[in-house]
Amino acid sequence: MSEWTAEIGTFLVQSVILTLLVLLAGFLLMRGKRGGERGASLKVESLNDQRRARNRRLKVNATAQGARKKLIKQLRREEKERQKTAKKSEEGAAARLWVLDFHGDIKASRTEQFAEEVSAVIEVAGAQDEAVIRLESGGGLVHAYGLAAAQLDRLREAGITTTVCIDKVAASGGYMMACTAHHIKAAPFAVIGSIGVVAQVPNIHRLLKRNDIDVEMLTAGRYKRTLTVLGENTEEGRAKFIDDLENTHKLFKQYVARHRPALDIDRLATGEIWYGSEALDERLIDSVGTSEAYLVERMKEVEAFTVKLEPPNTLGRRISVAVSSGIEQAVTKALGAIDATGWQRR
């Protein structure tokens, strides 16, 4: 019994520590957000260089110990020759691949950063260049994803060939973004589609009424409020709310149809989703494959660069990252301890 009490006490102490760490991480993150992205720097890395370095390392490690020195010398000579050839062709109009990432939450909160990355690419990309966007999003707020999709439209308007690669999901607002591309490639089981609109509003009017609580809502304008959380909803307000949803859905369908004219939009815009291989049959995408396979294939022909705007590495951000990592490790350890001791013994 005493051992069980000690374990409970240990768990309570860990819980208090975790709570304090969560509060500290939240404070640091909010402080970072208030500071904005001032001082953010654009990080550009060559995917070709990364791949060549990995290949060289694999070759060396896979070679017998006695033959490694000879292989390293050979690889160095080859790299020097490659660099010489690259310098000679620098003045030519060699095509380049610009790789951007967009991982969207419900508010598409990365849009501002993504917009700056798009601006950077537009300023340097030539007509022969291609932008590849590795996209992952299940959608979210209409206005937020409308703005995110507009950033991809900017690439098209600048005359840059755009390819969107979907490895996991691009649904609803995520598909709104994807449909702007010249070419959409999705993994076989990536989730595609969900061309629809959803909204839900909780209403506690009856609960308030049972407790003799009145709610006064005053508006100027017939439809300033339709459905409410606290007040009594009316059939007129409900009808208007649904009408607004239908209008949003119509605009969504028109947007997709304009970018993907081959789609049977009325048949596909039901809110349903399709997996990658099915989406190809429905013309929601243009090919099936992963982003990694596509980039490896393209890097045989062109130089590929990742473009990412990184926030300043401030003390607050470093502490926040460290705290977040500590929380994750502590939670895993605490849950593992409970599973291995307390709950099994009960």
From CA 265, how far away is CA 263, in angstroms rounded?
5
Both tokens assigned to 173: 């607002």
Query: At CB < 8 A and 24+ separation, what contacts does 316-323 make?
Result: 316/28, 316/31, 316/32, 316/35, 317/28, 317/32, 319/28, 320/25, 320/28, 320/29, 320/32, 323/21, 323/24, 323/25, 323/28
Both tokens assigned to 166: 């979907």
Select from 45, 85, 78, 46 the least CA-distant residue to 59: 78
Give 114's contacts (C-beta < 8 A, 6+ positions apart): 100, 102, 148, 151
Give 80's contacts (C-beta < 8 A, 6+ positions apart): none
From CA 155, how far away is CA 204, in angstroms rounded?
46
What is residue 165's three-state secondary structure? Answer: strand
- Contact at 8 Å (CB) between 184 and 283? no
Active-site residue numbers?
172, 224
Angle formed at CA 164 by CA 158 and CA 169, multiple of 5 degrees: 145
Beta strand residue intervals within 7-142, DSSP E: 41-46, 96-103, 130-137
